[in-house]
Amino acid sequence: MTSPTDPDAKKILERLMEKVHQPFDGCWEWTGHTRKGYGYIVIKGRKFDTHRLSYRLCVGPIPTGLFVCHRCDNRKCLRPSHLFVGTLQDNTDDMVRKGRTATGEKIWGSILKSSDVIEIRKLLARGFFCRVIAEKFGVCRKTIGNIKTGTNWRHVNG
């Protein structure tokens, strides 16, 4: 169902476009219901993600196991030229490349702040043991070791 050759495709596309804000240039934003920031529409009792539906109607089928990703990073966008098909890894790489991943103190539950990491590096440089530093900051030794090796908190300078 819902391919460009489907007999109901034109009706579905018209219904979809009724709830789209379509400026001259830019994203085609879904103005209807959303779930986790993504638009959705109910057709014959079934929920469809609007960006996936738009891709299927305007571009073609989505190969099994692939995602419809947004070039524009706007979850409500369903403009076909802003969408591309890719694997989970493609989507993750795109997110990392665009700097949309949480790092350091932006990670939920992070105990350390950037200023703590700078101080930890100074203590490491002065020869303090990871165990002693970990106790001071209320984290485990491995956290301090990961800061020391540059595995974690690479984005913090100083």
Mean pLDDT, the chain, as a whole number?
89
Give the predicted TM-score (pTM) of the model: 0.65
Give the pLDDT confidence score for residue 74 in this predicted structure: 92
* 3-state class (DSSP) for residue 51: helix
Give the pLDDT confidence score for residue 98 in this predicted structure: 85
d(CA 35, CA 115): 36
| 13-45: pLDDT as tens digits | 889 899 998 876 789 999 999 999 999 999 989
| 62-94: pLDDT as tens digits | 999 999 999 998 999 999 999 999 999 999 888
The better pLDDT of the pair 99, 51 is held by 51
Residue range(s) in the chain whose domain bears CATH number 3.90.75: 9-97
* pLDDT mean over 89-113: 82
d(CA 82, CA 73): 9
d(CA 128, CA 148): 11
Q: With helix as H, strand as E and coil as C, how does 99-149 read?
A: CCCCCHHHCCCCCCCHHHHHHHHHHHHCCCCHHHHHHHHCCCHHHHHHHHH
| 123-151: pLDDT as tens digits | 999 999 999 999 999 999 999 999 999 88
Query: In the CATH scheme, what is the code of domain 9-97?
Result: 3.90.75
d(CA 79, CA 85): 13
Give the pLDDT confidence score for residue 122 in this predicted structure: 95
| 39-62: pLDDT as tens digits | 999 998 999 999 999 999 999 999
